[in-house]
Amino acid sequence: MVIEVLYKSFRYEKFDSSAQTNSEPFRAKGTNILTDWNLYLGALEENGIILAEHWYDGNPQHAGGQVTLEGTKVPAATRQVGSAMLLVSPDELDDVVWLKKDGEKLLWREGDELINGERFFAMEQLCYSDATVQSINRRAIAVFDYLKHAHPTRSDDEIARIMGYTESAIERIRDAEISQDEGFVDDDGEGQNEEDTPGLSADMTSVRDRTKRETQFKRTTNEATETHANKEGEKNT
């Protein structure tokens, strides 16, 4: 892991976890078979930017029990606490322009604030779509609908689990996608322009149309029920 930090003073700092001063820093404590690096970007104002290094002891004599994998019992390596390294102190945060991990920006400055790029990119992949890019959420709905048509006898829960999702996650995503559609009409009959949204996939168009039909059916049914009730009331009077 390579961490790079640029400051407003044009000072450039680089931290490289691959270059150890000691090739086996935990040798006196055990057999390090896996190093666990943790970069903490959460409580910046309180703790600054911290990189912690932990490790797994693979010495069978230090095993933390066993796990059974495909019928074979395997000794479990124990996770050992290592060291925490302060890369950027809280007092230095205001001077940070950006921070990169392995060449990708994780933090950058927007005005007086540091933006968490990791969270932004995660949300972008899930939610953002345009004429050339389909979000993960939109593709998930398309895959679900495809599998649903291919396996009509299977339940929604089974279909969702085939693709690694849950039924509730698919429902939540579908609701979120529908709410972004310009043609969506709510239960009160209020909505925006019903023209097709540019770049909207055929799957999401069908979702919108189905929702509109269901809403219209519900509204028509309610109106019919109300009309019938009024007529019955007039007869009784």
Residues 167, 220 within the same domain: yes
Cα 167 from Cα 159, distance rounded (Å): 8
The number of folded domains in the chain is 2
pLDDT at 84: 96
H or E element in which residue 199 lies: none
Query: Looking at 49, 84, 115, which one is the last position of a domain?
Result: 115
Distances (CA, A) of 195 to 52, 75, 125, 132, 199: 52, 61, 26, 20, 12
- Both 8 and 110 in one domain: the answer is yes
Q: What is the pLDDT along the chain (237 residues), one digit of tens a residue?
A: 999 999 999 999 999 987 666 667 777 777 888 999 999 998 999 999 999 999 999 888 877 788 999 999 998 999 999 999 999 999 999 999 999 999 999 999 999 999 999 999 999 999 988 888 899 999 999 999 999 999 999 999 999 999 999 999 999 999 998 888 754 455 555 554 444 444 445 555 555 555 555 555 545 555 555 555 555 555 555
Q: Which residue, 70, 93, 115, sits at the end of a domain? A: 115
Q: Which of 80, 115, 150 is the last residue of a domain?
A: 115
* Same-domain check for residues 54 and 101: yes
**How far is residue 184's CA from residue 78's CA, in Å, rounded to a whole number?**
53
Domain that residue 166 falls in: 128-227
Cβ distance 13 to 102 under 8 Å? no
Give the pLDDT of residue 62: 78
Are residues 18 and 104 located together in one domain of the fold? yes
Residues 43 and 147 in one domain: no
Q: Residue 6 falls within a domain, yes or no?
A: yes
Domain-embedded: residue 235: no
Q: Give residue 100's pLDDT.
A: 97
Same domain for 56 and 109, yes or no, is yes
Residues 23 and 67 placed together within one structural domain of the fold: yes
* Beta bridge pairs of residue 6: 12, 98
Handedness of CA 35, 36, 41, 45 (dihedral sign): negative
234: in domain: no
172 belongs to a structural domain:
yes
pLDDT reported for residue 192: 47
In a domain, 30, yes or no: yes
For residue 30, the model assigns a pLDDT of: 75
